[in-house]
Structure 1
Amino acid sequence: MNNYPTITIDLVLDRFNAKEVLQAMLHAVLFHRLFGLVKPKTFEVLDVTMPGVSDPEMESLVNAKVDAFWKGIERGLSKRGQIVVTFSERRAKKGWFQMHMGEEDVPWEQWVINAEVRPPRDRERHTFDTALAATLTKSIETMLTHTSSERGRMAVPLITNATGISPFPIKISVHVGDQEL
């Protein structure tokens, strides 16, 4: 059992907007959890304004992970997958007799974005887009509620290194079907 909070967001997407939605979702998570000097950016997805991060390194990371997810879907591995964002802190790793054995990343929070790609029928397009817009709005509310809650604030470890955009290691993993991409 994890001792850290795990926030799950479920999305039903179509081929037309899957990449755009996933990029916006990842950017929104990063925007709420990066503690360095963040230059804000916004994404307009289905008339929902979502926050983002204007940083070449983060944009490259997000694009690479969304592309990996999309390639897994395109190869037909599955129509469902997830993108997991894990925030960790670096701690001294101790071995037997409390000897210092290097460093290890210890997670303090995880965001799981479950995504299913499903094509809507033509006559359902408006309903599908409206439902997705409502889900995006609810996701932003979930992010705000969690990050401003006592549990969300207590999950963040002490910031001892204030250089760069994030004082903590970030890992983004992509799973489609049974494979990690």
Structure 2
Amino acid sequence: MERKVIAQTLTLERSFIQPVVKAVLHTIIFHRYFGNITPKNNCILSSVTYASVDDTDVLDTVDEKVEELMQTLSATGESQSQLSLYFTETKPRKAWFSKSEEVICWEEWTLNVQSKVSKTERELNQMQASAEDQAKRAIFLIIQKIDKNKDHIPLIANSQGNPFPYHIDVNPASGLWSSMIKRAILPSIS
């Protein structure tokens, strides 16, 4: 099975990063959560509506990871970071005298987030309009990609809960050795 990788870049004013990234993550999870769900309708930036899974674990995980992303971004200047969302399945690994499980990543969504800082109120208004536009385009792209790409999704083996766990990773998109090593080690979920 081949891992599907989808990447998006968002360039946003710092105050709009949190709601837009939450909307993008919730939209992806909503469309890839194959268990029984209660949908929840949300609105950000006064004109962008998106669906999310009304589950405290999902809400808490997304909130925690978006907060972690915000901590990697500079509060005073321009900076960038990266957030990855992995969907996996667990399969039994066959060995002679032992039983083990193999975690296979079948889909990865990568958000490259670039933070901008507005200097005037006019810039802030322009960046809000840009944030709304980027959020709408990102959500539309997610729905479009999810509709088109279904061949790589594994068969659902059980009907209890979400059959495909997800993992969200936040790592600074910089040239630091520590972040490069972290990115090399963690996505080894293959």
- Provide TM-score, normalisation by structure 1: 0.86
Choose which of 158, 163, 177 in structure 2 pairs with 1:161: 158
Number of paired residues? 174
Structure 1: segments with no counterpart, 5+ residues: none
Correspondence for 2:127: 128
Q: Distance in 2 between matches of 1:142 and 1:89?
A: 24
The aligned residue for residue 90 of structure 2 is: 90
SS in 1 for 2:73: helix
Change (3 A) 1:159 1:100: farther
Distance 1:71 1:5, change over 3 A: same
Cα distance between partner residues in 1 of 2:68 and 2:169? 10
Q: Residue 188 of structure 2 aligns with which residue?
A: none
Is structure 2 residue 30 aligned with structure 1 residue 34?
no
CA contact (8 A) 1:40 1:54 kept: yes
- Aligned partner letter, 2:170: V
**Which secondary structure state, in structure 1, belongs to the residue aligned with residue 6 of structure 2?**
strand
Deviations 1:77-124 (A, max 9, x none): x821111000011112245xx665400110111111110111133222
What is the SS of the residue equivalent to 2:34?
A: coil
Distance 2:37 2:11 in 1: 29
Partner of 2:115: 117
TM-score where L is the length of structure 2 = 0.82
Match of 2:169 in 1: 173
Distance across 2 between alignment mates of 1:24 and 1:144: 13
Cα gap change, 1:99/1:53 in structure 2, threshold over 3 Å: closer, same or farther?
same
1:39 shift after superposition? 1.1
Per mean C-alpha deviation after superposition, the further-off stretch among 52-61 and 121-130 is 121-130
* SS of structure 2 residue aligned to 1:173: strand
* Structure 2 letter corresponding to 1:8: A
Q: Matches of residues 32-71 of structure 1 in structure 2 within 5 Å?
A: 32-46=31-45, 47-71=47-71
**Contact 1:48-1:137 at 8 Å conserved across structures:** yes
Measure the CA separation in 1 of the matches of 2:134 and 2:98: 46
Q: Which runs of 4+ in 1 moved over 4 A?
A: 98-101
Counterparts of 2:106 and 2:66 in 1: how far apart (Å)? 23
Question: Which residue pairs with 1:106 in the alignment?
Answer: 104
C-alpha RMSD of the superposition: 2.3
Q: Percentage identity across aligned positions?
A: 26
After the TM superposition, which of the residue ranges 25-34 and 125-134 deviates more from structure 2?
A: 125-134
Tell me if structure 2 keeps the 8 A contact 1:105–1:169: no
Q: Deviations over 1:15-47 (max 9, x none)?
A: 212212221111111011101111111221221
In 1: Cα distance, 2:126 partner to 2:74 partner? 25
Check conservation: 1:92, 1:100, Cα contact below 8 A. Answer: no
Distance 1:101 1:75, change over 3 A: farther
